[in-house]
Amino acid sequence: MKHIMLLLLGAAVSTAAIAATDPRTVPTQLPPAWQAKTRAVFKQAIEIPSVHNRGEVPRVAKLLADQFKAAGIPDADIHFMPYEALPGDKTEALIVRWRSPHATKKPMLILGHMDVVEAKREDWKYDPFEFREEGGYFLGRGTSDMKNGDVATTMAAVKLMSEGFKPDRDIIFFYSGDEETQGKGATLGSTQWRNLTDAEFGLNADGGGASYDRNFRPLGFGISMAEKTFQTYFFTTHNRGGHSSRPRPDNAIYDLADSLETLRTHRFQPMQNPITRGYFEERARQEGNSPLGQAMRAWLANPNDGAAADAIEANPLEVGLTRTRCVATMLKGGHADNALPQTAQATVNCRIFPGVQPKDVQAELQALAGPKVEVTPDPSYIGVPTPASPPRADVINAVKAAALRFHGPAMHVFPVMSTGASDGSFFRAQGIPVYDVDGSWGISPDDERAHGLDERIPVRAMYDDVLHWEMIIKALAG
Amino acid sequence: MRHLLAAAALTTLASTAGAAGPQLTPAQRTATHAMFEHIVNTPTVIGRHKVPEMAQFVADQFTAGGFPAADVHVIPYHTGSATTGDDDTAAVIVRWRAPGTPSAKPILLMGHMDVVEAKREDSTTDPFVLTERDGYYYGRGTIDMKDGITAITQAMVNLKAAGFRPKRDIVVLFTGDEETNGIGAKKGASEWLDLLGHPEFGLNADGGGGGFNPDGSPAGFAMQTAEKTFAGYTFTVRNRGGHSSKPRKDNAIYSLAHALDKLEAYRFTPKLNETTRAYFTAKAQMDKSPLGDAMRRWLANPNDGEAADFIEASESEVGLTRTRCVPTRLFGGHADNALPQLATAMVNCRIFPGEDPNAVTAELEKLVADPTVVVTRNDDNVASLASPLRPEVTAAFTNAVHALHPGMPIFPEMSTGASDARPFRVAGVPVYGTNGAWVQVPTDFRAHGKDERIPIQSLYDNVVHWQLMLRDLAGK
């Protein structure tokens, strides 16, 4: 569940003296031979439709494993871990250990996931599982969430091995197969498979990243160190139904629609934590004296200033950072075109502020939905609130160095709270701090298409991400 | 799809069900029972390929009754759709020719031979074994509408045996897929119209009929003269979607929910036509309650929307004052963690006769008033028309009902459902639902439901009813 950092530089911050260059047109620093290798693996990965229940994840695992194997990782250190995620969803995790010949530190974990969100051919302009390069972009489901990160981390390791690099700590690559649905792979990885995954800390390729605005001004590089709790609820209505030629005032679909109207306008209580305070301090500095910058300063000065928090939340770039948010994502109802519905159901997806209990959110939703609607948590995934990871200077410095190389000094690096939920939460919950540090980047908001239509990544962002991970690995394990 | 009169207790007129009137002879009764039992026991559900067998049996009754084979046709045809599955079915067409050169065009008698599915495990007795119990015949099709097939067939056989000679042609069309796709009726109103002799009007045994209240008082008989147009619409909202951790104001599901909230509050303009005016007039005469007051006010002033709204809000009258649309199905989204790219609602409309379904599209668009909500039609049904009340048909129906049930109140009726009559009405052949079966209301309203049944005497009364109707309309 990729979440590219998005920040908007306020108009008040006038770096406009420097004519901004389109970052997509800057040549990549990755040598052509490695571009070709990376592109070939990326193409194969995108063209495997590793959506839940399709049984395709093991093919992605084999593709990545083959790269490690060809680079010299022995079979004994490559583990295919089959498991069942959603009922009937036979998927797989891949665990690869790159051993240090003279380890002086505890191992380091690199996280990713191989599954992707469903994408329907009829919704997309092109076949989502056909790899395309067009207009400076790679297109296809998973190009930004997150087969880019899988391929970048794998190819960085392969490249380093080919150059004779020897890490001074074991590096464990953990790629799960159900991050988008259950997170069961990460649950197992952080518990039952801990003998294979135990590490001092984790670096997650499913988050982080830099972004530019449409005028190509750098917006920042966020390292996610905390994340909201993912919890889906169902809003369900029931009715005795009947013949559609005789409509009645009581109607399961209308009852549901009424509750969705209420949900649409409901806002949860604003909240802050040290990570978000750090984030808004940086943002307020960037925003200067703009109305948004003023609202941020007002809210930092007085956390009870709800109006300021609302103004921040209403900004498309800050959505989800000031509080718990819930949104309707799916609908179903009725059984025949000519019958009054006997049941209707909406799926409501919530991202809960760290520290808030999902059962309290359920109670709040039930109160707003009213007695005609039954609010229940999705039994297939019960969210567990997780702690923020403590800031680590070595990780932050490694990211800063990489950001400076690829984006220049104007690209600020700072901590953020992710509004998405990722595999990192399961490792955090089990005592392994996790930092989202992927080096992919995009133009905000145009390239933010994870889970959406016509997902894409700038070609250069893909190639430079290989070099980014090479730098991170060298810095933290060299 | 049988729509029996759903009238509640309306009157203090004293009468008893099955009062002695004209009766069948014992031999006619036996023949009627034998035919009814045979066809109820033939499970003419879509997919079971049994309609052709029943069609041949029914045709054989006519030829055995002396109708020339050249005028008795079994016409196989195919029915099917994505939702119903496919079947080979059949229609029966019979033409009883008047001697000489009749001055009037034929009268069409209509019915359908197929029935709705009934499962053994859902029924008290085997629904495809005619069972006599507690004064009833039980079985699928006993009131929808193998009673009417039996009554029309036996009435014609009896009349012919009695030496009756019609003064105009009587043609029969029994279709084989009314409950599913209505292809037989569409063919009847187009390619088979020559074979049917371009009838002047039709009498449909799949409409009309009457009832008695549980206390034995008459609930009234209805003659169906109009039906609303069935039309399906889809509300579609598309959105670029995105990640559910970052909700936006534009959201396909919220836009759809908002449109449905508007639809919930919306009421189409109330309308009266000849049928519903006569219906409400008859009802108002007997109803002294606030509902009756509202009917009187609306009849006096058709612009009294408040009165019409009061009537429409009554569970017994819903759908009779205007076009109604209701959402019946919802679909939306593609993943629980993604903002929806697509949300749709199926909206089922029952359109007042004469209104163009395309005009309803425009009205739905207008009430939703959101260009992101796209309204499209799911079918190409055209506007159903009300059949003008014909004095001779009304008189024949009234006389037949009163011969068997003296003093019985009679209403014209607009059906909110759809039947084989619609394509004929659209093709310019007025159709009247004039069946003569009666039941106890509402306990016997079991068409499409569990333990369908007909009072034993009602089956035989219906044969007499059709004999009386035909003598009246084709004998003068």
Encoded tokens for A107: 């191992």
Residues 6+ apart with CB under 8 A from A84: A90, A91, A184
Do residues B87 and B80 lie in contact, with contact meaning Cβ atoms separated by under 8 Å?
A: yes
A317 interfaces chain B, CB cutoff of 8 Å: no
Using a 10 angstrom Cβ sphere, with 0-12 exposed, 13-18 middle and 19 or more buried, the burial of residue B413 is buried
Size of interface A-B (CB pairs under 8 A): 187
Q: Which of A441, A35, A459, A382 is nearest to A183 (CA)?
A: A382
Q: What is the DSSP string of B311-376?
A: HHTSTTTTTSSS-EEEEEEEEE-S-TTEE-SEEEEEEEEEEPTT--HHHHHHHHHHHH--TTEEEE
Contact present, A264 and B277 (Cβ < 8 Å): no
- Alpha-carbon distance of A281 to A301, in angstroms, equals 10
Q: Which of A228, A327, A340, A382 to mutate to test the interface with B (most CBs of B within 10 A)?
A: A327
Q: How far apart are CA B33 and CA B132, in angstroms?
A: 11
Q: Which of residues 122-161 of A touch B (CB under 8 A)?
A: 123
Of B248, B254, B328, the CB nearest to A336: B328
| B437, B221 Cβ separation under 8 angstroms | no
Q: Does A291 touch chain B (CB under 8 A)?
A: no
Alpha carbons A337 and B328: distance in angstroms, whole number: 6
Q: Is A348 exposed, middle or buried (0-12, 13-18, 19+ CB in 10 A)?
A: buried
User: Would an 8 Å CB–CB cutoff place A347 in contact with chain B?
Assistant: yes
Q: How far is A343 from chain B (nearest CA, A)?
A: 9
Interface confidence: ipTM more than 0.85: no
First-to-last CA distance in chain A? 29
Q: Which of A120, A257, A420 sits opposite B243 (nearest CB)?
A: A420
Question: Does an H or E element contain A351, and which?
Answer: strand A343-352
B348/A337 CB distance under 8 A: yes
Q: Is A446 exposed, middle or buried (0-12, 13-18, 19+ CB in 10 A)?
A: exposed
Strands B85-96 and B170-175: antiparallel
Q: Do B243 and A3 touch (CB under 8 A)?
A: yes
Cis peptide before A146 (omega within 30 of 0): yes
pLDDT of residue A241: 82
CB under 8 Å to A358, separation ≥6 — which residues? A229, A231, A350, A352, A377, A382, A383, A385
Q: Distance (Å) from the C-alpha of residue A181 to the closest C-alpha of chain B?
A: 9
Under an 8 A CB cutoff, do A329 and B339 touch?
A: yes
**Selected residues 183-222 of chain A with any CB under 8 Å from a CB in chain B:** none
Chain B interface includes A339 (CB < 8 A): yes
> Measured at the alpha carbon of residue B125, what is the angle toward residues B120 and B130, in degrees to the nearest 5?
105
User: Does A346 sit within 8 Å of B416, measured CB to CB?
Assistant: no
Q: How far is A149 from chain B (nearest CA, A)?
A: 18
Residue of B nearest to A252 (CA): B328
Q: How many angstroms separate the CA of residue A323 from the nearest CA in chain B?
A: 11
B315 contact residues in A (CB cutoff 8 A): 246, 248
In sequence order, what DSSP letters do the residues of A165-226 get, joined into one string? ---SS-EEEEEES-TTTT-HHHHHHHTTTHHHH--SEEEEEEEEEEEE-TT--EEEEEEEEE
pLDDT of residue A12: 34
- What's residue B6's pLDDT? 43
- The per-residue pLDDT for B13 is 30
Q: Give the mutation candidate from B3, B234, B245 for the A interface (greatest A CB count, under 10 A).
A: B245
Are the Cβ atoms of A330 and B326 closer than 8 angstroms?
no
Q: Do B324 and A247 touch (CB under 8 A)?
A: yes
Contact A320 B343 (CB under 8 A): no
Parallel, antiparallel or unpaired: strands B342-351 and B229-238? antiparallel
User: How far is A146 from A133, CA to CA, in rounded Å?
Assistant: 17
Strand order in the sheet with B131-133: B131-133, B136-138, B453-455
B41: DSSP letter: T
Cα–Cα dist A18/A21, whole Å: 9
Instruction: State whether B248 and A451 contact (CB < 8 Å).
Output: no
CA distance A341 to chain B (A): 5
Predicted confidence (pLDDT) per residue in A52-83, tens digit? 999 999 999 999 999 999 999 999 999 999 99
B51-94 per-position pLDDT tens digit: 999 999 999 999 999 999 999 999 999 999 876 789 999 999 99
β-partners of residue A340 are A242
> Going residue by residue through chain A (478 aa), what tens digit of pLDDT does each one get?
554 444 433 333 444 445 589 999 999 999 999 999 999 999 999 999 999 999 999 999 999 999 999 999 999 999 999 999 999 999 999 999 999 999 999 999 999 999 999 999 988 999 999 999 999 999 999 999 999 999 999 999 999 999 999 999 999 999 999 999 989 999 999 999 999 999 999 999 999 899 999 999 998 999 999 989 999 999 999 998 888 888 989 999 999 999 999 999 999 999 998 889 989 998 998 899 999 999 999 999 999 999 999 999 999 889 999 999 999 999 999 887 878 898 999 999 999 998 899 999 999 999 999 999 999 999 988 888 888 888 899 999 999 999 999 999 999 998 889 876 789 989 998 999 999 999 999 998 889 888 888 999 999 999 999 999 999 999 999 9
B68 Cβ neighbours under 8 A, 6+ residues apart? none
Whole-prediction pTM = 0.74
Phi, psi dihedral angles at B4 (to 5 degrees): -75, 155
**H or E element that contains A434:** strand A434-443
Interface test with A, best of B81, B116, B246 (most A CBs within 10 A): B246
Residue A338: list chain B partners with CB under 8 A.
230, 328, 348
B17: three-class secondary structure by DSSP: coil
Show pLDDT as tens, one digit a residue, over chain B (476 residues): 554 444 433 333 333 444 467 999 999 999 999 999 999 999 999 999 999 999 999 999 999 999 999 999 999 999 998 767 899 999 999 999 999 999 999 999 999 999 988 888 888 999 999 999 999 999 999 999 999 999 999 999 999 999 999 999 999 999 999 988 899 999 999 999 999 999 999 999 999 999 898 888 888 899 999 889 989 999 999 999 998 999 999 999 999 999 999 999 999 999 999 999 999 998 898 788 999 999 999 999 999 999 999 999 998 799 999 999 999 999 999 999 999 999 999 999 999 999 999 999 999 999 999 999 999 999 888 888 888 889 999 999 999 999 999 999 998 999 887 789 989 998 999 999 999 999 997 788 777 778 899 999 999 999 999 999 999 999 98
Residues in chain B: 476
| Chain B touched by A416 (CB under 8 Å) | no
Residue of A nearest to B266 (CA): A249
| Cβ contact, residue pair A251, B326, below 8 Å | yes
Mutation target among B243, B334, B378 for the A interface, most CBs of A within 10 A:
B243
Please give the residue of chain A at the shortest CA–CA distance from B314: A248
Alpha carbon distances (Å) from B318 to A240, B213, B226, B312, B403: 17, 21, 16, 5, 32
Report the residue from B327, B335, B343 with minimal CB separation from A253.
B327
Residue of chain A whose Cα is closest to the Cα of B339: A329
Taking the CA of residue B189 and the nearest CA in chain A, the distance in Å comes to: 24
Contact A334 B258 (CB under 8 A): no
With tokens 């409501």, the residue in question is A348
What are the chain A neighbours of B117 within 8 Å (beta carbons)? none
Q: Which amino acid is at A380?
A: S
Looking at residue A19, what is its pLDDT? 59
Distance CA A65, CA A173 (A): 10
Q: Is A121 on the interface with B (CB under 8 A)?
A: no
User: Coil, helix or strand for A75?
Assistant: helix
Provide, as residue numbers in chain B, all residues whose Cβ is less than 8 Å from the Cβ of A330. 253, 332-336, 340
How many CB atoms within 10 Å of residue A126?
Answer: 13
Structure tokens belonging to residue A90: 């036979």
Are residues B243 and A451 in contact, defined by beta-carbon separation less than 8 angstroms? yes
Backbone angles phi, psi at A456, to 5 degrees: -160, 165
